[in-house]
Chain A
Amino acid sequence: EVQLVESGGGLVQPGGSLRISCVASGFIFSDYYMTWVRQAPGKGLEWVGRSANKGDNYITNYAASVKGRFTISRDASGNSLHLLMNSLKIEDTAVYYCVRENWYYYQYWGQGTLVTVSP
């Protein structure tokens, strides 16, 4: 059974940094593209960025709204996906979902972790 479990969310001040993580199980982690999608309170879904699979050298891509501030990485040895968020803004407040991608669609979703950016 595929499972994705996020952790690390919390309250951070504007301009601060936070790293959230996702532990994957039930599939060969290195075989799949992994994506972060966020949802601001009461709003719709927003693609944040993705990490390619091992075959595509774990290349990362980011939405324009987070490029240069957010970094996606994977544990070299484990089954973990990370999102390092720097220079956080109030508008980054959202539930962040870890998602397993399959040909540009999102097959499995974690339960999400809430990141709140507030003074």
Chain B
Amino acid sequence: QSVLTQPPSVSGAPGQRVTMSCTGSSPNIGASSDVHWYQQLPGKAPKLLIFGNTNRPSGVPDRFSGSKSGTSASLAITGLQAEDEADYYCQSYDSSLSASVFGGGTKLTVL
């Protein structure tokens, strides 16, 4: 059971917009801890996608965007492409655990 909750799967057709959620609680996202997102392609190491809730590292397309409100955060992908098919993880810091925590991951399928 992960501290941060993500839907197991989402799907969308090429060109569409999809969103995925990350729900936490008061010791983590609700305590103003930043949320970060990672993309993991099959058989590869995770890659930083969004940091500090809304910021994209250099090289990440602006089709990817993040938001945060209250105890939840969301990742949106517009103009869905086949190469976006991957697992996506959210991550934050939990002050009660004094530890970094991840969501269980969301598998994105491009139909």
Contact = CB atoms under 8 A, between A and B. Distances in A.
Interface string B41-82: 000011110011000010000000000000000000000000
Contacts, number: 56
Nearest to B47: A109
Interface residues of B, number: 24
A interface majority secondary structure: strand
A61 B46 CA distance: 22
B99 A63 contact: yes
A47 B45 contact: no
A26 interface: no
Contact of B38 (A45, A46, A47, A102): A45
B interface majority secondary structure: strand
A105 B105 contact: no
A103 B45 CA distance: 20
Interface stretch (B9-17, B19-27, B89-97): B89-97
